[in-house]
Amino acid sequence: MNDMTKPNREVVRGKVKMTPSEALVETMVAQGVTDVFGIVGSAYMDALDIFPAAGIRFIPVAHEQGAVHMADGYSRVSGRHGVCIGQNGPGVTNFVTGMAAAYWAHSPVVAITPETGSMSMGLGGFQETEQLPIFSKITKYQGHVNNPKRMAEITARCFDRAMLEMGPTQLNIPRDFFYGEIECEIPQPIRIGRGAGDERALDEAAKLLASAKFPVILAGGGIIMGESTKEAVALAEMLHAPVANSYLHNDSFPASHPLWVGPLGYQGSKAAMKLISKADVVLALGTRLGPFGTLPQYGMEYWPKDAKIIQIDADPKMLGLVKTISVGICGDAGSAAAAITARLKGMSFTARDKAGRDNAIKSEKAAWEKELEQWTHETDPYSVDIAKNVKAMHPREMLRALEKAMPKGAMVSTDIGNICSVSNSYLRFDEPRSMLAAMSFGNCGYAFPVACGAKVARPDRPAIAYVGDGAWGISFNEMLTCVREKIGVTVVVFNNGQWGAEKKNHVDFYSQRFQGVELDNPSWAAVGRAFGCEGVTVDKVSDVGDALRESARRQSEGKTTILEMMVTKELGDPFRRDALSKPVRHLAKYKAFV
Ligand SMILES: Cc1ncc(C[n+]2csc(CCOP(=O)(O)OP(=O)(O)O)c2C)c(N)n1
Ligand SMILES: [Mg+2]
């Protein structure tokens, strides 16, 4: 590179003549953007051309869905924007699933969507579709550049709103609007703090907690996004309250802390469920209390129906939306926790029956650990039969071995599937921004590209994706990206030869009339090697730990490893027993299908 093209991160100041492409790129620099995921396209080539000069790395991917997931993973571990860009029309429609997933993961992803030219829109030209309606329900804000002179203003708003509203935004740009001459000033980023929330509500919350007999904290994603672990720990210690992680946020409270009791929800911790069932006051800290996160599990209705609920969330629309609450606080999880802690101090509050709670926490945790240790395989008749005399590993044993060998500081993404769900019991973290589950959109194919994006943001941390073999079929194309861009991650592919989670429904509800659930896998380790990754087949539990550690070591060389885990076809509990019902048939020709 000569001096002219050396990266320069200094943003131009004052009102200056520039092109809209320059305004876009300068605004991205002002917002701190250093990486953009996408597939190259003529629509935005004029802006792409100057990315390197602005110090922005363009990471070409295999499929635009992968680009959004990577941007999502990138933002979830860095707390910064994840950015993706694609060609108008098909490139942009390929973003849809990724954007819906980012929406429900509350990830500040900015999707830059060049659109067909303003002079041909509506005429049915090439790669034309209306791009705003498609994303209207899966974005927090949609900025449409309706005049090239507004490029910097609207770009900045998309970036600001993604942070303010904690979710993805869309920047839609007619492709002819990248060109021309404008005069504009690059806006400074706007970041608005929320603070602790309403003083009176905080007083009420402190009063309720101080008088509680058995307070329990439910630690949500807001603690992770708000970087509020310290404040959450201080409040928990002040109350001496057990702390459960909200569903799929196992990194919302340090697992090594004595007050940590594990995650609620599907395949979560029985200790957490039993303890929260005793609560007279629940402090839902930084959680929207999503409807699926507190569903009965293990045949247990654990949600404390009579408890008073204090809910703290940064989005006021989430307060009282799913559960009836006694106190609602719109605030930042950390500031609110600190404000409540300060009030409790002022009330010369002493945690009531600290010893009793301590005993309950210790004994429930010990009981659950013992149960997990002994729960080496599924015990329902179907699972026992299908795994009989099979050499492959039991999924639970394999997951336990992965847990024990998990490298320090690991970031683990999980997909949607039976084994990924069971892994919830075996994923514990001491650091926030470590667990990257597919969250409530629940799309198969999420975990691998998310781990890639996370690794780009944090190359110093091991990135590990847990993926079922079905979901792997949706997402393995991004091995191309890993090899080309030297992104070293570990993919743990659970090879059970089936779309297991759906097969479980056939077992439970459809008398084992299996349809479309069998997979005919190639050797995924060999496929990995063919792509230029490392590929390792593991069929013994005793080999799991070394294989994981070795793959993590290879990450520092920019090498991705596919660990193909040969597991039995046994199946854990389904996500929701309420989701399906036994079939009823009225017509004679379908009578046998019950
Ligand atoms: C994109 C997408 N398609 C379909 C589904 C429905 N679905 C949920 S779980 C699942 C099976 C997952 O199978 P696999 O990835 O092999 O994991 P396993 O259940 O076998 O552990 C399917 C098809 C989904 N969640 N997402
Ligand atoms: Mg499978």
Phi, psi (deg, nearest 5) at residue 411: -110, 120
pLDDT of 463 = 99
Shortest-distance ligand to the CA of residue 465: 1
Ligand 1: which atom is nearest the Cα of residue 467?
15
Ligand 1 — pocket residues by CB below 6 A? 416-419, 442-445, 468-471, 494, 496, 498-502
Closest CA to 5 of 49, 58, 59: 49
Q: Computed over its alpha carbons, how large is the radius of gyration of the chain?
A: 25
pLDDT mean over 3-15: 88
Cα gap 48→58, rounded to integer Å: 8
SS3 of residue 180 by DSSP = coil
- Decide: 54 and 89 in contact? Cβ < 8 Å: no
Phi, psi (deg, nearest 5) at residue 514: -80, 135
pLDDT mean over 218-247: 98
Structure tokens, 473: 């079929």
Q: How far is CA 107 from CA 77, 165, 209, in A?
A: 10, 10, 31
469 Cα–ligand 2 center, Å: 4
> Which of 398, 413, 416, 443 for mutating ligand 1's site (highest number of atoms within 8 Å of CB)?
416
Ligand 1: which atom is nearest the Cα of residue 494?
21
Strands 82-85 and 109-115: parallel
499 Cα–ligand 1 center, Å: 6
Tell me how far apart the terminal alpha carbons of the chain are, to the nearest angstrom. Answer: 69
pLDDT above 70 as % of the chain = 99
At 81, the pLDDT band (50, 70, 90 cuts) reads very high
Alpha-carbon torsion, ordered 177, 180, 184, 186, to 10 deg? 60
pLDDT of 6 = 87
At 3, the pLDDT band (50, 70, 90 cuts) reads low
- Please give the mean pLDDT across all residues of the chain: 97
Dmax over Cα atoms in the chain, in whole Å? 80
Closest CA to 330 of 291, 290, 286: 286
Q: How far is CA 491 from CA 46, 394, 465, in A?
A: 36, 18, 5
Alpha-carbon torsion, ordered 87, 93, 98, 104, to 10 deg? 130
Cα gap 435→40, rounded to integer Å: 30
445 Cα–ligand 1 center, Å: 8
Of the two residues 214 and 348, the one the predictor is more confident about is 214
Cα gap 21→394, rounded to integer Å: 54
451 Cα–ligand 1 center, Å: 18
At 5, the pLDDT band (50, 70, 90 cuts) reads low
Exposed / middle / buried, residue 515 (Cβ in 10 Å: 0-12, 13-18, 19+): exposed
Cα gap 168→172, rounded to integer Å: 13
Residue where the block lists tokens 């920047």: 171
For 370, residues 6+ apart whose C-beta sits below 8 A from its C-beta are none
**pTM of the shown model:** 0.98
Write out pLDDT tens, residues 509-540: 999 999 999 999 999 999 999 999 999 999 99
CA angle (391 as vertex; 387, 396 as ends), nearest 5: 60
At 352, the pLDDT band (50, 70, 90 cuts) reads confident
HSE-CB of 94 using CA atoms within 13 angstroms: 20
- Decide: 245 and 223 in contact? Cβ < 8 Å: no
Shortest-distance ligand to the CA of residue 419: 1
436 Cα–ligand 2 center, Å: 19
> Which of 423, 424, 440, 499 for mutating ligand 1's site (highest number of atoms within 8 Å of CB)?
499
Write out pLDDT tens, residues 109-168: 999 999 999 999 999 989 999 999 999 999 999 999 999 999 999 999 999 999 999 999
Closest CA to 33 of 193, 189, 221: 189
Q: Looking at the predicted structure, is the pLDDT value of residue 2 above 60?
A: no
pLDDT of 4 = 64
Structure tokens, 180: 């021309």
Cα gap 487→479, rounded to integer Å: 9
pLDDT above 90 as % of the chain = 96
pLDDT of 261 = 98
SS3 of residue 508 by DSSP = helix
